[in-house]
C-alpha cells in the first residue's frame, strides 16, 4: 500500500464518518469526493456504469443474479477463482469449463471457449447465459487474450463478464474494446487499496436487469441492500485511484523486473557437474506463460521439496527461513510450488529476495 | 475503538495475511485464532451456529434468502433500519409494520406485533414467514422487550429474527431466552471493531435452509461466495471480542452517564424569566423512551434550529461550532434534531461536550 493511501485509510479507520454527508448513496457522497470513484473507474477502464461492491467476487455474484437464471449454464475458464463457481451455483445454474493447455503453461484461449460453447450447446441444447473470463488468473498470473474471447462472445450474442481482479489496477485496458459487458474489479487485490472493496463496471443496457431500486427508499438498490462498502475502504480506494496513472505507467518496468526475477530464480535451481558444466535440474521452474506478462509468478520448486523432506521443520522451513530474512508472503507449509510477486519492490529489495532463496538452497 | 483493537487492526491493515493459513474457511483459521470468534459469540449470546458477514444488514439478507420466499410477507417494526426493508424486497416479499407509539417515545411493543400479525392474516390469508424486531433501533436508541415479541412469534410458530446491531456488544442477553431463531450482529457498530464485519447467530435447525455447501468446493458456502469478511476486519473483531466482558461490565455505568447527560442537555434548553423562575421552553428535549436504557440519544432541538435561522452558516453552524470545540459526530446541517452518544467518554470529556453546547447556546 502506498504511504499516502495508508495515511488516509488510517484517518478513516474507525469508519462511518463519511456517512454524515450521505444523501442516499455512498457512491454519491461528495465530501470526501467518493463520487469521483465512478468517474475515475470509467475513465480508466471504460463501459458506462459502476456499482461498488466488497470485491470482485461480489461483483461477479451481482452479474449472476441479474443475468443468469436457474437452469441456465455459464462458460468459465479453468483458471477461474473458486468463488466464480459458487456464484454460478448460487443462482441454481451450471457451468462448462474452457480448458487450459495444461502443464506447464496453462494458457486459456478463444478456441477453448469455442469448444466449451459447442459442448454446452450439445449438453443443454442452448447457448450459455454468460461467458466469464478470468482476465489474469490468481495462480499462474497468465494474461489472457480477452479481446479474442470477447469476439467469440459477440459472435454468439452472449454477454461477456471479465474478472479483472488481477488486471485492473495493474495495467490499463479498454473494456469497451475487449467487448466486455461487465468488468469485475478488486480494489484490495490490484489497486493497492485497503479492503474489502471492489466494483462492477457494466454497460448501461444491463442496468435494469442488474439493479432494482427500492420501492420504499428511492436511490437505494435492493441487490446491494443499500450500501455494500462502508467508508474506510471507499476513502482508501479513492486515494488509490488518484495515483492509478503512476501505477499503470510503471507496469512495463514491473513486468521486466518480474521476467528478470524469473531468470534469476530458475538459475538458482540449476546444478553444476563439478567440471563447470551446467546441468539443468529444473530445481526451480516457472509455470504459466513464458515470458511473464504479469507480476504474479508460480514456481514449481522440487529443490525446496527435497530440502523439506530432510528438514526437521518439514514443509514449514521455507516460509520460516524466508521470514527470518524479511521475505514475507510465501504460504507456510508449501514447498512443491510457490506463488509470489515482487510488485513494488525496489532493486535492492529484489536482490535481497533472490539472495535469501540462494542462502536457503546453499544451507539445504 | 480500544487501543489494543486498533493496534492489531493496523498490523493487518494490508489484509490477506490470514489467508496464508486458510484451510477452506476464514472462520476456521487457527493462526491467528479466528476460529475463536464463533465460540466467543455463542458463549456470549447463545444459539448454536455463527456465520460471519459484512454487517448486520447482510446477516438479515441471508435470513431473508433462506427463510422468506416470493409472495411471503414479513413483520418488521416501524423503527427498523431501511436495509431491512430492502432485504425483504430482495426476495420478492412484502411487509407489514409493527407500529410505534409515535411522538415522543416511539416505543414498539409486543401488542404492535400482535396487531400486525392480525393485519397480515387478513391481507394475505396466512401467517408471516418471519418476524423481525430491531432490538435497539438506530434513531431513538429504544431498547425493546424482545422476550415479549419472541413469545408472540413462538405462539404463532413464526421464526423470529432479532436485529442486534445496536445491542450485542453493548449489553449482554441470551438469544435463547429471548426466543430468537436468528440474531444479526454488527462488529463495527457495537463491538468497537474495525469493519465491515458482522455475524448471524442461528439455531442449528435452520442450517440447511440458510447455507448450502458448494458441490465443487467442500466447506465453502454458496450464499456467502466462500468468504465474506476478509482478514483485517476479522482480526479486529477477534480482539474486540477478547475485551467484550469489560465492555458489558460497564454498561450500567454507560447508561447512567447517558441519563445524566440527558438531564444536563435538557436543562440547557430551559429558559429563565429574569426573576429567577425557570420557564420550560423545551428548547432541547430527548425523544425515545425515558429514562434512557441505551447510549444512543435523539434530541429534538428547536433551540438550535432558531439559532440556525439567524446564522450565516445556517444549519451547518452547529456541527462546525462543535467541531471547533473538539466534539465530533453530529451530522452537519441538522439542527431540528440531533443524534448522539457519549459511549466511552470519560467525565471530563462529557463535561466538555455539555460545555460546548452551553457556549453555543449562549453565543447564539
pLDDT for the residue A17: 63
Q: Are A175 and A203 in contact (CB under 8 A)?
A: no
Neighbouring residues of B323: CB distance < 8 A, sequence distance ≥ 6? none
Chain A residues close to B60, C-beta within 8 Å: 225
The better pLDDT of the pair B233, B147 is held by B147
Q: Which parts of B125-198 fold into alpha helices (H)?
A: 146-156, 175-178, 187-190
pLDDT for the residue A329: 79
User: Could you tell me which chain B residue has the CA closest to the CA of A223?
Assistant: B90
Number of C-alpha atoms within 13 angstroms, CB side, residue B325? Answer: 19
CA distances from B266 to B236, B289, B301, B307 (A): 37, 15, 9, 17
User: Could you tell me which chain A residue has the CA closest to the CA of B316?
Assistant: A21
Residue of A308, A351, A296, A361 whose CA lies nearest to A326: A351
* Section B229-234 average pLDDT: 82
pLDDT for the residue A5: 77
Chain B residues close to A327, C-beta within 8 Å: none
Neighbouring residues of B158: CB distance < 8 A, sequence distance ≥ 6? B75, B117, B127, B128, B129, B130, B131
Residues 55-114 of A with CB under 8 A from B: 55, 57-58, 60-61, 82-83, 85-87, 89-90
C-alpha span between A359 and A362 (Å, rounded): 5
CA distances from B3 to A69, B144, B194, B253 (A): 48, 31, 12, 21
Neighbouring residues of A51: CB distance < 8 A, sequence distance ≥ 6? A27, A59, A62, A199, A200, A202, A210, A211, A221, A224
Q: Kind and range of the H or E element at B279?
A: strand B278-279
pLDDT classification of B185: cutoffs 50, 70, 90: very high
Q: Are A361 and A268 in contact (CB under 8 A)?
A: yes
Cell 467541531 locates to B323
Residue A39 — φ and ψ, nearest 5°? -55, -45
Ramachandran quadrant class, A326 (left: phi over 0; alpha: psi -120 to 50; beta: rest): left
Neighbouring residues of B161: CB distance < 8 A, sequence distance ≥ 6? B60, B63, B130, B131, B132, B133, B180, B181, B182, B183, B184
Beta-bridged to residue A6, according to DSSP, are none
Mutant choice from A24, A84, A89, A191 vs B, greatest count of B C-beta within 10 A: A89
CB contact under 8 A, B225 and A86: yes
Chain B residues close to A221, C-beta within 8 Å: 86
C-alpha span between B116 and B136 (Å, rounded): 19
C-alpha span between B29 and A96 (Å, rounded): 32
Give the pLDDT confidence of A129-188 residue by residue, as tens digits. 999 999 999 999 999 999 999 999 999 999 999 999 999 999 999 999 999 999 999 999
CB contact under 8 A, B87 and A225: yes
Q: Kind and range of the H or E element at A117?
A: helix A110-124
pTM of the model: 0.93
Give the pLDDT confidence of A34-60 residue by residue, as tens digits. 889 999 999 999 999 999 999 999 999
C-alpha span between B199 and B190 (Å, rounded): 12
Number of C-alpha atoms within 13 angstroms, CB side, residue B149? Answer: 30
C-alpha span between B98 and B256 (Å, rounded): 29
User: Could you tell me which chain B residue has the CA closest to the CA of A3?
Assistant: B14
pLDDT of A276 higher than 80? no
pLDDT classification of B137: cutoffs 50, 70, 90: very high
* Section A334-341 average pLDDT: 92
pLDDT for the residue A15: 47
Cell 454488527 locates to B186
C-alpha span between B39 and B28 (Å, rounded): 11
C-alpha span between A152 and B208 (Å, rounded): 39
What proportion of chain B, given as a percentage, has pLDDT over 90? 76
Q: DSSP state, A34?
A: T
pLDDT of B227 higher than 90? no
Residue A56 — φ and ψ, nearest 5°? -65, -40
CB contact under 8 A, A89 and B1: no
pLDDT of A264 higher than 90? yes
Chain A residues close to B87, C-beta within 8 Å: 225
pLDDT classification of A12: cutoffs 50, 70, 90: low
CA distance B271 to chain A (A): 31
End-to-end CA distance of chain B: 34
pLDDT of B300 higher than 90? yes
**Nearest CB to A90: which of B82, B194, B225?**
B225
**Nearest CB to A85: which of B13, B214, B332?**
B214
pLDDT of A20 higher than 80? no
Residue of B130, B49, B50 whose CA lies nearest to B84: B130
Give the pLDDT confidence of A70-88 residue by residue, as tens digits. 999 999 999 999 999 999 9
What proportion of chain A, given as a percentage, has pLDDT over 70? 94
User: Could you tell me which chain A residue has the CA closest to the CA of B82?
Assistant: A217
Give the pLDDT confidence of A56-66 residue by residue, as tens digits. 999 999 999 99
B225 touches chain A (CB under 8 A): yes
Residues A171, A175, A180, A185, CA torsion sign: positive
Query: Which strands form A285-287's sheet, in the order they lie side by side?
Result: A285-287, A297-300, A337-340
CB contact under 8 A, B89 and A216: yes
pLDDT for the residue A301: 94
pLDDT of B274 higher than 90? no
Give the pLDDT confidence of B30-69 residue by residue, as tens digits. 888 888 999 999 999 999 999 999 999 999 999 999 999 9
Which has the minimum average pLDDT: A278-292, B107-121, B138-152?
A278-292
The better pLDDT of the pair A6, A206 is held by A206
pLDDT for the residue B342: 94
CB contact under 8 A, B9 and A13: yes
CB contact under 8 A, B214 and A61: no
* Section A14-25 average pLDDT: 66
Amino acid at each position: 500500500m502506498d504511504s499516502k493511501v495508508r495515511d488516509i485509510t488510517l484517518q478513516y479507520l474507525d469508519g462511518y464518518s463519511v456517512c454524515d454527508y450521505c444523501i442516499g448513496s455512498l457512491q454519491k457522497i461528495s465530501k470526501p469526493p467518493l463520487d469521483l470513484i465512478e468517474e475515475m473507474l470509467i475513465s480508466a477502464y471504460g463501459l458506462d456504469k459502476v456499482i461498488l461492491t466488497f470485491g470482485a467476487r461480489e461483483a461477479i455474484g451481482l452479474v449472476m443474479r441479474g443475468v443468469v437464471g436457474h437452469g441456465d449454464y455459464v462458460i468459465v475458464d479453468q483458471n477461474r477463482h473458486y468463488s466464480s463457481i459458487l456464484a454460478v451455483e448460487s443462482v441454481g445454474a451450471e457451468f462448462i469449463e474452457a480448458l487450459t493447455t495444461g502443464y506447464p503453461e496453462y494458457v486459456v484461449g478463444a478456441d477453448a471457449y469455442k469448444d466449451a460453447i459447442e459442448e454446452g450447446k450439445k449438453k443443454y441444447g442452448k447457448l450459455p447465459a454468460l461467458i466469464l473470463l478470468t482476465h489474469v488468473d490468481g495462480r499462474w498470473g497468465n494474461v489472457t487474450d480477452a479481446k479474442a474471447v470477447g469476439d467469440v462472445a459477440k459472435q454468439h450474442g452472449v454477454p461477456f463478464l471479465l474478472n479483472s481482479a488481477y488486471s485492473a489496477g495493474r495495467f490499463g485496458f479498454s473494456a469497451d474494446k475487449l467487448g466486455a459487458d461487465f468488468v469485475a474489479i478488486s480494489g484490495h487485490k490490484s489497486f493497492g487499496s485497503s479492503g474489502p472493496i471492489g466494483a462492477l463496471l457494466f454497460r448501461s443496457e444491463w442496468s435494469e436487469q442488474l439493479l432494482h431500486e427500492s420501492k420504499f427508499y428511492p436511490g437505494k438498490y435492493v441487490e446491494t441492500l443499500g450500501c455494500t462498502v462502508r467508508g474506510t475502504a471507499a476513502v482508501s480506494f479513492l486515494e488509490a485511484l488518484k495515483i492509478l496513472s503512476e501505477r499503470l505507467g510503471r507496469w512495463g518496468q514491473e513486468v521486466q523486473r518480474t521476467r528478470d526475477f524469473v531468470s534469476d530464480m530458475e538459475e538458482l535451481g540449476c546444478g553444476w557437474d563439478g567440471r563447470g558444466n551446467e546441468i539443468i535440474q529444473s530445481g526451480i521452474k516457472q509455470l504459466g506463460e513464458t515470458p511473464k506478462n504479469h507480476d504474479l509468478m508460480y514456481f514449481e520448486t522440487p529443490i525446496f521439496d527435497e530440502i523439506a523432506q530432510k528438514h526437521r521443520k518439514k514443509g514449514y522451513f521455507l516460509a520460516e527461513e524466508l521470514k527470518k530474512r524479511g521475505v514475507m508472503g510465501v504460504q507456510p507449509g508449501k514447498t512443491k510450488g510457490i506463488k509470489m510477486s515482487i510488485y513494488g519492490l525496489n532493486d535492492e529489495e529484489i536482490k535481497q529476495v533472490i539472495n535469501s532463496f540462494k542462502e536457503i538452497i546453499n544451507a539445504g
